[in-house]
Amino acid sequence: RPRYTGIIERYRDRLPIHDDTRIIGLGEGNTPLIRLNNIPRLIGKEVDIYVKYEGLNPTGSFKDRGMTMAVTKAVEDGSRAIICASTGNTSAAAAAYAARAGITAFVLIPDGKIAQGKLAQAMMHGSVVIQIKGNFDDGMRLVKEVADTAPVTIVNSVNPYRLQGQKTAAFEIVEELGRAPDYHCLPVGNAGNITAHWIGYCEYSSASGDHVTESCGFCKGRCMYAGGAVVGNRPRMVGYQAEGSAPFMRGHMVDNPETVATAIRIGHPQSWDYAWKVKEESGGWFDECSDEEILAAQKLLAEKEGVFCEPASATSLAGALRDVRQGKIPEGSSIVCTLTGHGLKDPDTAIRQSTRSPLTVDATLDSVKRAILENM
């Protein structure tokens, strides 16, 4: 069996790649699909809930799937620099893949509003970090303006190669389950990932043997981009937003988005039209979760299943659990929740919401024994 080297090698016949393309990869993808054992029992519902733990990608988020494609193509096209706006994870991935490729990454981040782990990554990988006195949406606008006039390749999800890479998560899920789940739940910010997953499911369910062509960019006229018919089994796509950053719930862009889940603190999603199409075509829906619900789900998952994701990622589980409890997602369903990023990305939020502080005791057998007995 060939050594696993990442999603491009694995799915090269479904991606816009040439035989001689130099692949910039870090072994991304192939992430675990973990079946929740304890939480369904706790809520007393017969459902199969799986979490797709994208936090186990090389830089700790799903962005690596898209970034390996975007940077590979940027290098192939002769680019010497890439640029992105980010709430932290895209910038971490851009910085790492640029380092791997030997090119420069410029990353625009909202001043003071990204998690520490993500900032550390961008700095450690040697990217040029530009903190702007504005939010992600301001950064996005600026990056698009700059990329029009400077010799830098934009690697936000408006770069179509990003979604191409990210669609591979859907491939992995179908291969592992043997079919698509009934529901696929995702946190929604810029709405690129929900779009990418839908592309992936559509391609997988379209007639086998049809490969992606660069002309349509996606699936030979079978996906939503061409309005073609798709056969086979696909999930309902459910997108959950943080209450204070929920343009899909408001039905319009939101100017001052707020949420503890800084990764999805976005009011002007770039894939707005695509995401509405995904909802319509898949028969899914959007909903919103409060910051309290998001943090509670993050903690529940960590404490009851041993899986640590960042706050934004827990939005998918928070929403799914509510919809299961309320019967909107019926018993007997199979559900996949994408956990988009690792919990270690944002240690500050994790520590702040921990109910159990570390115990400080004397370095004696007695003190340690007492600490154990008092806390059994």
Please report, in range form, the residues annotated as the binding site: 89, 189-193, 340
- Per-residue mark of binding to ligand F0G, 12-41 (x: CB under 6 A): ------------------------------
Least distance from ligand F0G to the Cβ atom of residue 163, Å: 9
Cβ neighbours of residue 233 closer than 8 Å, sequence gap 6 or more: 179, 180, 205
Q: Is 140 in the site for ligand F0G (CB under 6 A)?
A: no
Q: State residue 54 phi and psi, 5-degree precision.
A: -75, -10
> Parallel, antiparallel, or unpaired: how do β-strands 33-35 and 48-53 relate?
antiparallel
Residue 229: exposure state from Cβ atoms within 10 A (0-12, 13-18, ≥19): exposed
Report the C-alpha gap between 203 and 199 in whole angstroms.
6
Of the pair 180, 261, the CB lying nearest ligand F0G is at 261
Residue 17: exposure state from Cβ atoms within 10 A (0-12, 13-18, ≥19): buried
Q: Is 170 in the site for ligand F0G (CB under 6 A)?
A: no
Q: Which of 68, 90, 164, 205 binds ligand F0G (CB under 6 A)?
A: 90
Least distance from ligand F0G to the Cβ atom of residue 216, Å: 22
Least distance from ligand F0G to the Cβ atom of residue 135, Å: 11
The radius of gyration computed from the CA coordinates of the chain, to the nearest angstrom, equals 21
Q: Is 154 in the site for ligand F0G (CB under 6 A)?
A: no
Report the C-alpha gap between 295 and 314 in whole angstroms.
7
Q: Are 56 and 19 in contact (CB under 8 A)?
A: no
Binding residues for pyridoxal 5'-phosphate: 89, 189-193, 340
- Per-residue mark of binding to ligand F0G, 92-131 (x: CB under 6 A): ----------------------------------------
DSSP SS3 for 63: helix
Q: Is 187 in the site for ligand F0G (CB under 6 A)?
A: yes
Q: State residue 110 phi and psi, 5-degree precision.
A: -70, 125
Binding segment for ligand F0G among 21-29, 40-48, 276-284, 309-317 (CB under 6 A)? 309-317
Of the pair 147, 312, the CB lying nearest ligand F0G is at 312
- Residue 254's nearest CA partner among 320, 188, 198, 185 is 188
Of the pair 205, 340, the CB lying nearest ligand F0G is at 340
Q: Is 61 in the site for ligand F0G (CB under 6 A)?
A: yes
- Beta bridge partner(s), residue 325: none
Of the pair 45, 261, the CB lying nearest ligand F0G is at 261
Q: Which of 68, 79, 127, 340 binds ligand F0G (CB under 6 A)?
A: 340
Q: Is 58 in the site for ligand F0G (CB under 6 A)?
A: no
- Beta bridge partner(s), residue 185: 238, 337
DSSP SS3 for 200: helix
Q: Are 14 and 171 in contact (CB under 8 A)?
A: yes
Q: Is 260 in the site for ligand F0G (CB under 6 A)?
A: no
Least distance from ligand F0G to the Cβ atom of residue 90, Å: 4
Of the pair 74, 84, the CB lying nearest ligand F0G is at 84
Sign of torsion, CA 191 194 200 205?
A: negative
Binding site for ligand F0G (CB under 6 A): 61, 63, 86-90, 157, 187-193, 263-264, 310, 312-313, 340-341
